Amino acid sequence: MTLPRKETRFLLIALVALLLLPFATMLLGDRAWLLSLSVGSYCLLYMINAQALNVQVGMTGLLNLGPIAFVGLGAYTGALMLTAGDNALIGFYAGFVPELSGHLRWVLFFLDPNFLAYLTVIPVAIVLSMLLSLLLGLPTLKLSGDYFAIVTLGFAQIFYLVVKNEAWLTKGSAGVTDVPALFSFCTGPNRIEFFSHTAHYFFGVAVLAVCLYVVVRLRDSYLGRGLLAVRDNELAAQSNGVNVAKYRMLSFMVFSALAALGGVAMLARAKFVSPNDLNFMESILFLCCVVLGGMGSVRGVLLGGIALGALGEVMRIGLPVVSETIGYEIPAQVRYVLFGMILILVMRYRPNGILPVAAEEHAGGLEKLGAHRDAEPTFFKLGTKG
Amino acid sequence: MGAVLELRGLTKHFGGVKAVQSVDMKVEPGSITALIGPNGAGKTTCFNMITGHYVPTAGDLIYRGGEAEERLNGLRADQIAKLRIARTFQNIRLCPEQTVLDNVRIGFHTRSRSAPWQVLLNTPSFRAEEAEMTASARAFLEFVGLDASQETGIEALLADSLPYGDKRLLEIARALASNPSLLLLDEPAAGMNPQETETLMDLIRKVRDHGITVFLIEHDMKLVMEISDYVVVLDHGEKIAEGKPAEVRENPKVVAAYLGQEESDRRSERLTKVKLEESGADPAPETSASGGEATEASPDAVDGPTDEETP
Ligand SMILES: Nc1ncnc2c1ncn2[C@@H]1O[C@H](COP(=O)(O)OP(=O)(O)OP(=O)(O)O)[C@@H](O)[C@H]1O
Ligand SMILES: [Mg+2]
C-alpha cells in the first residue's frame, strides 16, 4: 500500500509548513506577519472542523447540517469554565505552580496556569460534546440518513436560540467576553510580544495534528473500514458484521469530540464567543470544505479547509479596503455569493472534489486483467479460526 | 451433529404476496446444496431471511455452524455474520469506490480483535493484525482466481472497474475472508461466460473441500446438476421437490415449473428441452412471466430490505 505512506508524507509536510509560516512571514514586516497569523489561524479552524466533519459526512456518508453547534458547545464550555468565578480555574493552578520568569516562562509553557486551565477544559468539552451526540444520535441514527440531517439542522437552531436566550448561563447575545488567553504571558504586564500573537496559532496547529492523527488512525483500521462500508454499501456492511447503527454512532461521536476540540481552538484564538459564532453559514462552509476537498479524503479536506478559510478571512479583511477605495460599500454577504460560485465551479469541473480518494493511482490498469485466471493459490488460511 | 442449517416452516409474506410459503429444508454440513426455481420463486427471499435482512413472517431458522445451536430468527444481519454465515448478493454489492483489496478487508470485520485504543495508539499487536489481514486478503484474492501480486495485480484498482465476472469473484473472496462455516451464494454464475462458469465450479468445490458448507441459488442447470450434492426446488414460494440432482431432474413437478419459465428465462432452456416431450405438462406462462417482470423492474426490492423490514 503506497497510498497511506504518501499521504503521511503530505500531511507531515503540511504541518511543518504551518509551523514555519509565522517565522517566514515575520521577514515581510509586521503588517504582513499579523495578517498571515490572522488568516492562518482562521484557516486552521476550518481545517480542524472540516476534518472532524469529514469523519461523519465524508467517511460514513451521514449528512450533518449542524456541526457548528458542537464547535460552539466546545467553545462555550471552555469560555464558561475559564471565566467562572473570576477565572477561578486559573487561580487554582496559579496557587501551586511556581511562578516562572524570563525565558523559562515559555520554555516550560506547559506549567503555565492559563495553559493548564485550557488543558482541563478540553476533556470536559469533549465529553460534553460526545454525550450530546449520544443523546441526539440514539433516537435518530436508526432512521434513514435524511432524517438525521434534518435533526442536526434543527438541533443547531435550537442550540443557537438557547445560547442566545438563556443569559443566566451563557451571557446571552453579548457573549462571553474577556476569556483568558492561552498563556499568562500573552497578556498583561508580563506579555511576550511574539507569543501574544502566535500562541493560539501554534495551539491550532497542535489541535490539527491531533485531529489528523485520529482520523488517519481510525480510517486505516477495521473501525474506519466499517465506516466506509456503511457509506458505500449498507447492506454489504451488515452482511460483513458491521452494526450499522453502532458505526453511525461511532462516526457521530468522533466528529463531536474533534469538533469540541475545534471549539476550544476557536476560543483560544478569539478569547470571546457569542451567538454570532453559531451562524448557520458556518455549518455550510464546513460542509463545503468536505465536499470541495473530496468526501473522505484527508488530504483533500485539508486543502478544502485552507482554501475556504483563507478566502473567507481575506475577504473579511479585504472587502472594507476595496469598498473604501472604490467608494462604494460592498456588503459583507458577497463572500457567501463567491463561495457559492466556487462550489458550483468545482462541482462542475471536479465533481468528486479537489483531491478525491479514488483519483490517486487507480486510473488505468484494466488491460492488465484477464491473463491471471489460472494462478495457483499459494497461501490460504481457510477454516482456521481467528 | 445435525444439519448446519434447518428451515422449519419458513414463511414470508409481503402484503398479499406469499413470497415464501412454509418451506422445510436442511443443509447438511460439508455439502453443496442448491436452491433452484423459476424467477420470483422466493429463493433470494429465503436467503434474506437466513442472513437477517428480512424478518420471517413465520417459521424457524436453526443454525448449527457455530459453537452452539442457534435460532437465527430475530437476529440482526451483523449478528448473524458474527455466527460465521457469509453471503454474496444476486445484485453484486461491493463498495465500488474502494479498492479491490479494501473490499476483501471488509470481510475480516468480524475477525478483528484489536480494541479501539489499540487502533488509536497503533500498537504493535494492532499493526501485526493489520499486516496479517492484508497478506491474508491477498491470499483470498488469489484463491478465488484474482491475481493479487502487487506489480501486475488488481488489488489497487477500484472494485467498480472490474469486469462483471471478477466482481462476483471478489464478492466471494470477501465472504471467504470472514472465515465462514456456511457460505450462501446467490446466483454466483449470473453474467459469467461458460468458461468462467467452469472455473467457478472448481472454486466452489475447492471451498467445500476446505470444510465450508455451501448453499447456493443458481439458474445455470449445468452448474447445479454437476456440483450439488442436494437440490431443493421452490416454485411460487413453496417447496415442490428435493433430492439428489438426478432425482430432481426427473421430477415432473420440477419440469412443469420450469416449462412455464421457458419464455422468460432462457437459462433454463437446457433442462426444459430435454424433458419437453416425455412430460407433456401444461405450461403456465402467465404466472412466471409476471414473476420475472417484477424481478427485472425492481432489483432493489428483490435483493434489499424494504422500509418495513429495517430493524
Ligand atoms: N422487499 C420485497 N417487497 C415486496 N415483494 C418482494 C420483496 N422481495 C421479494 N418480493 C417478491 O417476492 C417474490 C419472490 O422474490 P425472490 O427475489 O425471492 O425471487 P427469486 O426466486 O430470488 O427470483 P430470481 O430468480 O428472479 O432472483 C417475488 O414475487 C418478489 O416480487
Ligand atoms: Mg433471486
Q: Residues B300, B304, B309, B311: is their CA dihedral positive or negative?
A: negative
Provide the whole-model pTM: 0.85
Q: Which residue, by CA, sits nearest to atom 6 of ligand 1? A: B302
Mean pLDDT of A7-25: 92
pLDDT digits (tens, 9 = 90+) for B78-108: 999 999 999 999 999 999 888 999 999 999 9
Ligand nearest to the CA of residue B10, numbered in listed order: 1
Distance from CA of B199 to the nearest CA of A (A): 9
Helices (H), chain A: 2-26, 30-53, 67-96, 104-107, 113-140, 145-165, 167-170, 193-219, 222-232, 234-239, 244-270, 280-293, 298-326, 334-349
The cell numbers describing A51, all together, are 476534518
HSE-up (13 A, CA, CB side) for residue B23: 37
Mean pLDDT of B28-50: 94
B139 touches chain A (CB under 8 A): yes
Mean pLDDT of A367-384: 33
- Atom 9 (ligand 1) nearest CA: B302
Q: Which atom of ligand 1 is nearest to the CA of B47?
A: 18
Per-residue pLDDT for B297 more than 60? no
For B48, phi then psi, to 5°, come to: -65, -30
* Mean pLDDT value across residues B166-173: 94
Whether B276 shows a pLDDT value over 60: the answer reads no
- At residue A197 the predicted structure's pLDDT band, cuts being 50, 70 and 90, is confident
B178 neighbourhood in chain A, CB within 8 Å: 240-241
Please tell me which of the candidates A142, A242, A374 has its beta carbon nearest to residue B109. A242
Q: Tell me the average pLDDT of chain A.
A: 85
- Domains of chain B in sequence order: 5-258 (3.40.50.300)
Q: How confident is the model at residue B257 (pLDDT cuts 50, 70, 90)?
A: confident
B178 touches chain A (CB under 8 A): yes
Share of chain A above pLDDT 70, in %: 91
- Angle (deg, nearest 10), helices A30-53 and A67-96: 120
Atom of ligand 1 nearest to the CA of B237: 14
**What's the pLDDT score for residue B1?**
61
Find chain B residues with C-beta within 8 A of A221's C-beta. 112, 114, 119, 126, 130
pLDDT attached to residue A368: 34
pLDDT of residue B7: 94
CA–CA distances in Å: residue A139 to residues A92, A158, A245: 40, 17, 10
- In chain A, the domains with their CATH numbers are 5-374 (1.10.3470)
> pLDDT value at position A184?
82
Mean pLDDT of the region B21-33: 94
DSSP string, A299-354: HHHHHHHHHHHHHHHHHHHHHHHHHHHHTS---TTHHHHHHHHHHHHHHHH-TT-S
pLDDT digits (tens, 9 = 90+) for A62-121: 999 999 999 999 999 999 999 988 888 888 888 887 777 777 777 777 778 889 999 999
